[in-house]
Amino acid sequence: MADTQVDEKQAAKAERRAARLAKQIGHFAQEHGGAEGQVAYLGQRGARIVLVGEDGGWGDLVAPSHAIALSAVEKAGITVHEDFDGEFAAKVKTGRYEWSRMAGIQLGGPKNG
């Protein structure tokens, strides 16, 4: 009986977390004229939800598990891609900051900080 209560509490906690993530996804979609996403497994850390808005804006969220991430994107009602490539990746718009930051990560680029 105690195991059942623990399972129910964990399920309720996961449901609340998925609902909060779905709300954040919804806000992102509203700010960017809609959104699409991709869920990437991060190992024990959980899963990353990468979001790309219709305007090219992008961002990400981290969920404590892959199941919670999938539940969140389903609740948010966005299109979810299997991979971050092709037409989906081409929708991302980057600016000077991103290019400078990426160059800083590579050998010889600016350090940005």
| pLDDT per position as a tens digit, 42-86 | 998 899 999 999 999 999 999 999 999 999 999 999 999 999 898
Nearest to 20 by CA among 92, 76, 59: 76
pLDDT of residue 27: 97
Of the pLDDT bands very low, low, confident and very high (cuts 50, 70, 90), residue 32 is very high
Of the pLDDT bands very low, low, confident and very high (cuts 50, 70, 90), residue 99 is low
Q: Output the CA angle 92-40-100, nearest 5 degrees.
A: 40
Q: Is the pLDDT of residue 1 over 60?
A: no
pTM of the model: 0.81
